[in-house]
């Protein structure tokens, strides 16, 4: 099983770790509130953990065009 970081906007895979390589504390998950965890972390049927964050490209696009944040998948 793995922990996979993907962009919430474009779906690009940002990083992937085997769960045995890292702990939740090393990834900072232990400092998230329950609400934050529910927003960005999900578990697939296969058991993989998916962390949805914004990649650098999409963050830059959103900084230049903030109205894109009103669209569900602005940069798909």
pLDDT tens per residue across span 4-63 = 999 988 899 999 999 889 988 999 999 999 999 999 999 999 999 999 999 999 889 888
Q: For residue 75, tell me if it sits in a domain.
A: no
Contacts of 53 (CB under 8 A, 6+ apart): 5, 6, 7, 8, 14, 40
The predicted pLDDT at position 75 comes to 57
For residue 67, the 8-state DSSP code is G
Q: For residue 76, tell me if it sits in a domain.
A: no
The predicted pLDDT at position 74 comes to 56
How many residues are listed for the chain in this entry? Answer: 76
For residues 66 and 30, the model is more confident at 30
Backbone angles phi, psi at 35, to 5 degrees: -65, -45
The predicted pLDDT at position 72 comes to 63
Query: Is 14:59 a contact under the CB 8 Å cutoff?
Result: no
Boundaries of domain holding 51: 2-70
């Amino acid at each position: 099983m793995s922990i996979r970081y993907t962009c919430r906007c474009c779906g690009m895979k940002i990083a992937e770790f085997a769960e045995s390589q890292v702990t939740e504390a090393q990834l900072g998950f232990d400092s998230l509130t329950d609400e934050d965890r529910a927003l960005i972390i999900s578990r697939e049927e296969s058991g993989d953990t998916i962390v949805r964050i914004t990649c650098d490209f999409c963050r830059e696009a959103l900084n230049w065009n903030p109205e894109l944040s009103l669209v569900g998948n602005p940069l798909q």
